[in-house]
Amino acid sequence: MAGTYYKELDKSSRLKIKEILESLPPYAEDFYRSLMASSSPLTQVEYLQDLKRFLSYLCIRKGIETDKLAMFPLEDVISTTVDDLNTYKEWLIDGDGEEFPSNGPYGVRRKLASLSAFYDYLDDTGKITGNPVHKVKRPKVMTKTISYLSHNEVDTLIRGIERCEYWIRRDRENERFVKLKTEASYRKQHSKFILRDIALIVLAVCTGLRVGEVVSLDVSDIHLDDDNPYLRVQRSKGNSEQRIPFSEDVYEALDDYIYGVPSELYEKYTTRMPRYVEYIQNAIDQEWTDIPIRCSEAFQIETDDFVRDMTRLERRLRYGGRQDLKKAKYPGETALFLNKNGKRLSKNAANKIIGDAVQCYLPNRTDVTFHVLRKTFATNMLRQTQNVALVAKMLNHKSTDTTAKFYADIMDDQIVDAMKNVRK
């Protein structure tokens, strides 16, 4: 189960916590203990990092070397005023060299929230009266228009990955696109990742899972044999497990990636009708294009179902699936999505896969990240169902207000359409 991933994540977070606490005063450890019951280790890391930044700021302001942070007195923290905190907010916005880079509105708000939790702890333990951070105004965050991909853009992305078109990227020095590889060398190097990358995109677009939730999945979390296929996911926010049904598109993408040729197709076309397999394999060897259509015409079976079967069969004969990414060095790896070394795909790697694919196949969309795939799912589902509560549940939002806030533009479109039908 995905729990394996989160156990490893918690383990690495605790090691990070230990490392951070070694550089902080003793009262930071007391604050950490107050967080243990109500937050995850990953959240605790962020709180402690933010506290360390605040204490570093106080050291710099008082002319104390930051390597002496562990000796910073609690009295100086307690005596901090609202004016001091406002100055700290400005310092966060402006930054202070490479060690303390500038922050945008979201970053400042989060760091002030962490600091507020620390001062709440001081208030709860009787060390201060009242929380001065409450009096510091948070930077305003401009509401952005939701970015999402259209159906055509998703299809373009998937077709581009499957066809192994020229791989290009933006040259950051002169801001132009350059070809990195020839088509032949790209095919040879990247073909074994094609079904993985397609499954990654289709799963994200059709379920709305967060990137951390996607890479946390194990093969055992995917249930394709059930009458109503579903997956089990441990939500990264709220630490709850959820059963999520999925569409035929997801079924096919996962089936191709995990198991190779679907058993019914394999039996049908390799045992009883091997001539189709031989034809497709020969066409692949000769680097033909439009192979499913040619196969349909050659055998005079021009039906959509046959072309669809031949398309899937070609993909499996041409590309490797999960079994081709597994390594003898890690025979027990349970992760659904594997990297080139046969280990679990990381969040950074998943983000890079999406970023590289978008840069190559949708070069005009500079705003697309993995999270935009989640927003694409939410947008499509909200338009189809017009049910905010249902979409909120699928996105694992704690409140429907969160969903309504972020997808207000889509709801406005629905209101316009509904009002057109109102008659006197």
Following DSSP, what letter does each residue of 146-177 receive, concatenated?
Answer: PP---HHHHHHHHHHHHHTPPPEEEETTTTEE
Report which of 7, 51, 12 is spatially closest to residue 29, judged by C-alpha positions. 51
Backbone angles phi, psi at 236, to 5 degrees: -70, -25
- On whether the CB atoms of residues 338 and 345 are closer than 8 A, the answer is yes
Among 99-103, 149-153, 183-187, 307-311, name the one with the lowest average pLDDT: 183-187
Torsion over CA: 399, 402, 404, 405 (sign) = positive
Topology at the third CATH level for domain 151-260+320-361: hpI Integrase; Chain A (1.10.443)
Confidence of residue 7 (pLDDT cuts 50, 70, 90): confident
Query: CA angle, 197 as apex, 218 and 178 as ends, to 5°?
Result: 145
Summarize pLDDT for 331-383 with one digit per residue, the tens.
888 899 999 899 999 999 999 999 888 888 898 888 899 999 999 998 888 88
C-alpha–C-alpha distance, residues 171 and 59, integer Å? 41
Q: Which amino acid is at 178?
A: V
Q: Which residue has the tokens 């899937």?
A: 312
CA 235 to chain centre: 12
Q: Taking 90 as the threshold, does the pLDDT of residue 8 lie above it?
A: no
- On whether the CB atoms of residues 21 and 10 are closer than 8 A, the answer is no
Q: Taking 60 as the threshold, does the pLDDT of residue 385 lie above it?
A: yes
Q: Which amino acid is at 329?
A: K
Torsion over CA: 175, 176, 180, 184 (sign) = positive
Q: Taking 60 as the threshold, does the pLDDT of residue 258 lie above it?
A: yes
Per-residue confidence (pLDDT) for residue 260, from 0 to 100 = 67
Per-residue confidence (pLDDT) for residue 161, from 0 to 100 = 85
The larger pLDDT score, comparing residue 167 to residue 125, is at 125
- On whether the CB atoms of residues 93 and 108 are closer than 8 A, the answer is yes
Q: Taking 80 as the threshold, does the pLDDT of residue 145 lie above it?
A: no
**Average of per-residue pLDDT values in the chain:** 84
Per-residue confidence (pLDDT) for residue 65, from 0 to 100 = 86
Q: Taking 70 as the threshold, does the pLDDT of residue 6 lie above it?
A: yes
Per-residue confidence (pLDDT) for residue 175, from 0 to 100 = 47
The CATH 1.10.443.10 portion of the chain extends over 151-260+320-361
C-alpha–C-alpha distance, residues 147 and 153, integer Å? 12
C-alpha–C-alpha distance, residues 307 and 234, integer Å? 37
Summarize pLDDT for 208-249 with one digit per residue, the tens.
999 999 999 999 999 987 788 999 988 766 567 889 999 999
Confidence of residue 187 (pLDDT cuts 50, 70, 90): low
Q: Taking 80 as the threshold, does the pLDDT of residue 90 lie above it?
A: yes
pTM, two decimal places = 0.74
Per-residue confidence (pLDDT) for residue 310, from 0 to 100 = 85
Per-residue confidence (pLDDT) for residue 278, from 0 to 100 = 87
Can you read off the two tokens belonging to residue 197? 């990358």
